[in-house]
Amino acid sequence: MTTSRQIQLKGYPDGAPTPDLFQEATVELPAPQDGQALVETLYMSVDPYMRGRMNPHVKSYIPPFQLNEPLDGGAVCRVLESKTPELSEGDIVVGMGGAGWRSHAIITPKGFSKIDPDLVPLPAYLGVLGMPGLTAWAGLTQIIKPKEGETLYVSGAAGAVGSLVCQLGKHYGMTVLGSAGSQEKLDWLVREAGVDHAFNYKEHDARSLTKAIAEVAPKGVDGYFENVGGMQLEALLNVIAFGGRIAACGMIANYNAKELPPGPSSIINIIPRGVLMQGFIVSNYAHLQDDFIKEVAPLVASGKIKHEETIYDGLEKAPEAFLGLFEGANTGKAVVKVGA
């Protein structure tokens, strides 16, 4: 039998999650049965959407985490033993389905894909070429539908999703504006991601951010990729251009709120300006995975798309990595290194 170290959820948060909600456990795994494989987790992902899975009372597009069970998420794994023809010993795979937040797991091939470990560093398959990458590409190309010469604003621009949105926006010939919460991140956005103007959202309220954006984009913002919500949404609704498009990917500013704040008063602007605002989740565009990889993978491999990972070393660091998402602790994708 194989021993698996796990991080389990032992309580649901009321407001912001805290370290005491997690516990470490060790379990013995049975041998894989027909149609299954035993894998070792090499890297695992932590993502903001996981906060929504910590509320058992709200229906969502994905089931809630269960108490005293390991959490789940994207993971890059090595196949150790296989009883299924789709996977062979030594294969490196990426996917979701029972391999995250644990050192070893029994999986089925469904939800996992073989990857080339020599194309890009393995953590990139959880970020720029993984779920966050598809999220960025799909929201931009399918909802905002960028046009050369237009202006794009990205909230949470230094994160895993936002940083790719910014670079793809530049690739498509847009003027790109973005926000982040530290000077280090602002510098990275300008230096590496090619952002034209970067704003520290911590230095603004909705009124001052509105003014700052209007000064550099007097004709308004044509596309807004929304990762944060809160006062940034209020400000962007003030400067959205006629015919503007908003891809609503996330609103992390509200994820830990015990009571949701009232909607932005500036929402009225979408009516006279003919604005499209569409929410989405990445699974809406899973059928476009091959198109995404075909376009973005060569840009990543050639170095034209920069990607950054904040890597935490050790499975025990998973709670710290997850909690850090809500404090802006990561630049690019937050990843936990689990195995060798």
Q: What is the pTM of this model?
A: 0.86
pLDDT at 193: 95
pLDDT at 158: 93
Task: Write out the residue range of the structural domain in which residue 138 sits.
Answer: 131-283
Residues 277 and 315 in one domain: no
pLDDT at 263: 82
CA distance 238 to 232: 10
CA distance 148 to 168: 12
Is 216 inside any structural domain? yes
Residues 95 and 162 in one domain: no
Residues 7 and 100 in one domain: yes
pLDDT at 305 over 80: yes
What 3-state class would DSSP assign to 302?
coil
**Residue carrying the six token digits 């790719």:** 164
- CATH number, domain of 321, equals 3.90.180.10
pLDDT at 321 over 80: yes
CB-based contacts of 210-215 (< 8 A; 24+ apart in sequence): 210/235, 210/238, 210/239, 213/153, 213/177, 213/239, 214/238, 214/239
Taking only the tens place, the pLDDT of each residue in 158-208 is 999 999 999 999 999 999 999 999 999 999 999 999 999 999 999 999 999
What 3-state class would DSSP assign to 330?
coil
Is 105 inside any structural domain? yes
Is 297 inside any structural domain? no
Where residue 312 falls among pLDDT bands split at 50, 70, 90? very high
Taking only the tens place, the pLDDT of each residue in 224-278 is 999 999 999 999 999 999 999 999 999 988 888 778 788 899 999 999 999 999 9
pLDDT at 97: 84
pLDDT at 328: 86
pLDDT at 260: 77
Is 158 inside any structural domain? yes
- Where would I find the H helices in the chain? 131-138, 160-171, 183-191, 206-216, 231-239, 289-301, 318-324
Structural domains of the chain, count: 2
Residues 108 and 136 in one domain: no
Is 75 inside any structural domain? yes
Sign of CA dihedral 89, 91, 94, 100: positive
Is 181 inside any structural domain? yes
Q: For the chain, what percent of residues have pLDDT higher than 70? A: 100
Residues 226 and 268 in one domain: yes
295 CB-contact burial (10 Å; exposed 0-12 / middle 13-18 / buried 19+):
middle
Taking only the tens place, the pLDDT of each residue in 8-25 is 999 999 999 999 999 999
Residues 72 and 101 in one domain: yes
Is 293 inside any structural domain? no
Residues 135 and 275 in one domain: yes
